[in-house]
Structure 1
Amino acid sequence: MVRLVTLIAVSLSAAACNNGDGQQTGFSSSITTVPQGTSSSGSGTSSSTSSSNGSEDSAAGSSASSDSSTSTTSSSSVPDLGTIPDAGDGPPPGCKGKVDFLFTISSAPTMEVKQARLKASFSSFMATLESEFADFDYHILSSNTSGFWGYPSCVGCQDVCEDLPEYPCGVSPEPCDSIRGAGVTYPIGKHASNERCELASGLRYINAGQPMLEDAFTCIASMGINGADGVAETTVLALADDLDGPGGCNEGFLRADALLVVVAIQDTYDNFSDGTPEDWAATLVEAKGGDADAVVLLVISTDIDLPGALCGNTIGVEHNLRTWTTLMPHSVFGSICAEGYGDYFAAAAAKITEQCEVFAPQ
């Protein structure tokens, strides 16, 4: 009898343990890499390529077995354990196709060709995600890296403004147009959109159901080459409470039940953004309630710090943007000197699909 009671207690304990979700979340500072477009299982292996830096950890599954044989002991001699409590249905379902995309794009003078590659990669990226999610529900925000309206040097130069698309004479700016980190709806500068983008949402970001999505994205992503960069710092500003909270320029962009995908594009190391890569990584995790598994980071930047780099070689430099990706467990790094960025977006799409399945909304 003692042995039977002990066996029942052990079986109940094992069942309760096996109903946990087994997920491991939190911020990891280990510097490991994952091949582009693939994922790793377990924390004991890592591999490296020049186009994907980051690490993905998943808890190893465990199983418990119990003795299925029956006993002929009379019911009067077996203690009444009552109704076995329901362990529940496990964690809530994943993001169900809800994804918040934050693009932060440098407008340095050398970025014209790189911005064109970004826009050329967008349609296939979104098409891939639409095929993965039956109800793809997206927010897409392109954050303001400059923090000013037009070129300050052109203010008051009405006689020549007509020839300078960098400054839209006769157009009154909206309050959020000159706030760094706010969603861009009127990109200004040489090779920029230089017009108010038509967003069906009436907000400073695109949402699901946007007619002519590719045209709308092209408009907000055509940042031009007005000389602004600092993509990491701008990303931090875009996610701050004063912009994303009630009454802020980006109000409603960041949703608690959506996966956050950050795409940062700059052709230098970004060594002038405020803070450190550790600070930037902590900001992304904090934005999702401390859940690092709710964030995917794609950085496209120079790769000259690596042997055989597409951008040439300057080994040994401190590359803050690369470090940022290594600190995030679900990230992709791509060379900005590649002829196209389709492969990097495909790798990011694979990570988005994987993480959307395990993401437990807070």
Structure 2
Amino acid sequence: MRRLALATLAALAACNDGPEQQSGFGSSITTAPPATTSSGPDTSTTTSSSTGAAEDSAAASTANSSTSSAGGIPDGGAPPDGGDKPPQGCGGKVDLLFTISSQSTMKLAQGWLKSSFPGFIDTLESEFGDFDYHILSANTSPLWGHPVLCAGCKDICPEVPEYPCGVTPEPCDTIAGAGVTYPIGEDASNKRCDLASGLRYITPGQPDLEEAFSCIASVGTSGAPLVAEMTMAALADEINAPGGCNEGFLRDDALLVVVAIQDTWDEDSVGTAQDWANALVEAKGGDPDAVVLLVIASDTDDPDGLCGYSGVPPGYHKLRTWTELVPHSVFGSICNEQGYAAYFAEAATKIKAQCDVFVPQ
């Protein structure tokens, strides 16, 4: 796996500029992964609460041939192996990465996400007899200890009184893309999430899975967007290596599922939509069929979108382009007031289909 190097994220906006103030971070990638190809895209775009159909997937087959001996007498050939064998499959192993915007406009969307999560997990548990999950919420707001939020907190940031001034952060609390276990800021959990694994992500056996997810997914509204950039940060080699903040999250024999949620188009994340798609494939050893992407974002580029049409030309929406470049993906509208259950259901169908044909690298 080629390495992605992300520079330190900075450039934070002052928190006392009011609720409309948005924070931003900037970084760069020193190496871009090569473009990848697959057998053909299977991308869905959804702007209502209806579900999509499952994709058809098939495993590659090989043919056997026999040879003859020197005397012209045919040998017996290899004994029959019972025909083509199905691929190994993911066996219910799914690595779920959530990157959730923490900008000031995300309060409603975060609530709809959390209300839709239980149904999503119920669907996956019903599809897989042994659902073996890793669930990580990437840190999109590595603000801990920054003077804008902590120094003189009560006087400077009265709108964020729950900020944990005086609480000593863990080293990974300040790392962009690391699994967040203590979300901070306005509308955030503002407490250490109780994860039974002792890691920075949820694993099987977690008591009260819904409560644990709600804690790590309540990233608040005092941070930044950049969900694509934070996705790449969370999947980088270094952060997943032994000793890294997300050590053990990515498994070679698991399907990777990315859920990115942002109410804008993510025009500021480093790289292009192609870079983002390449990063997902690179994380799975170059196998585009080992990745499922769900993006929930503004659909103002769609004349029939739920957020209202803005009249922009096709291709301008980078998050939509990202989904179009990933073969197995779903796009949903952030403005769906009925919640995101339909998008999760469609993604679950794709997860099941890809798990069935998954061949671990």
Using the size of structure 2 for normalisation, the TM-score is: 0.80
Give the drift of 1:236. Answer: 0.2
- Superposed, which structure 2 residues align to 1:1-362 within 5 Å? 27-28=37-38, 33-34=43-44, 36-41=51-56, 79-84=73-78, 90=85, 92-149=87-144, 152-157=147-152, 160=155, 164-165=160-161, 167-317=163-313, 318-339=316-337, 340-362=339-361
SS at match of 1:206: coil
Contact 1:150 1:188 in 2 (8 A): no
Contact 2:87 2:356 in 1 (8 A): no
Q: Partners in 1 of 2:42 and 2:129 — Cα distance?
A: 33
Letter in 2 for 1:105: I
Give the drift of 1:170. Answer: 1.9
Q: Partners in 1 of 2:273 and 2:328 — Cα distance?
A: 15
Contact 2:59 2:357 in 1 (8 A): no
Q: Partners in 1 of 2:274 and 2:154 — Cα distance?
A: 48
In the TM superposition, what whole-angstrom CA distance separates every residue of 1:109-137 from its partner, at most 9, and x where no partner exists? Answer: 11000000000000010001101111100
Give the drift of 1:218. Answer: 0.1
Give structure 1 regions of 4+ aligned residues with deviation exceeding 6 angstroms: 29-32, 59-64
* Structure 1 gap ranges (5+): 1-25, 42-56, 65-76
* Structure 2 gap ranges (5+): 1-35, 46-50, 65-70
Give the drift of 1:147. Answer: 2.2
- The equivalent residue for 2:31 is none
Number of residue-to-residue matches in the alignment: 310
Contact 2:43 2:326 in 1 (8 A): no
SS at match of 1:99: strand
Give the drift of 1:169. Answer: 1.5
Flag the structure with more relative contact order, 1 or 2, with Cα contacts below 8 A and sequence separation at least 6.
2
Alignment CA distance shift 1:194-1:357 (3 Å): same
Alpha-carbon RMSD: 2.6
Give the drift of 1:156. Answer: 2.8
Contact 1:27 1:282 in 2 (8 A): no
Contact 1:34 1:40 in 2 (8 A): no
Alignment CA distance shift 1:274-1:211 (3 Å): same
Alignment CA distance shift 1:355-1:294 (3 Å): same
Using the size of structure 1 for normalisation, the TM-score is: 0.79
Contact 1:144 1:182 in 2 (8 A): yes
Contact 2:102 2:223 in 1 (8 A): yes
In the TM superposition, what whole-angstrom CA distance separates every residue of 1:55-114 from its partner, at most 9, and x where no partner exists? Answer: xx75799999xxxxxxxxxxxx98141342566864641011000000000011110000
Q: Partners in 2 of 1:187 and 1:298 — Cα distance?
A: 22
Q: Partners in 1 of 2:96 and 2:211 — Cα distance?
A: 16
Q: Partners in 2 of 1:79 and 1:111 — Cα distance?
A: 75
In the TM superposition, what whole-angstrom CA distance separates every residue of 1:285-310 from its partner, at most 9, and x where no partner exists? Answer: 01111111100000000000011211
Contact 1:97 1:136 in 2 (8 A): yes
Query: What is the percent sequence identity of the aligned residues?
Result: 62
